[in-house]
């Protein structure tokens, strides 16, 4: 178990967090459109 493995794990976690961040804060607001569609469906 060397420093290289620790750096690898930190890098992996960083990539996962980055993708989650990009998915939650999608510049295209696609997730917001899906949420709005669900809300409209529930109202009807």
Tens digits of residue pLDDT in 1-44: 699 999 999 999 999 999 988 888 766 655 555 556 565 666 65
CA atoms in the 13 A half-sphere facing the CB of 4: 0
- Looking at residue 41, its pLDDT comes to 63
CA distances from 33 to 8, 24, 40 (A): 36, 13, 11
Spell out the domain ranges in the chain: 3-43
pTM: 0.46
């Amino acid at each position: 178990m060397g420093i290289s493995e620790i750096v690898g794990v930190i890098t992996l976690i960083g990539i996962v967090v980055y993708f989650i961040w990009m998915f939650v804060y999608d510049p295209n607001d696609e997730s917001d459109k899906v949420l709005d569609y669900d809300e409209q469906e529930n109202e009807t």
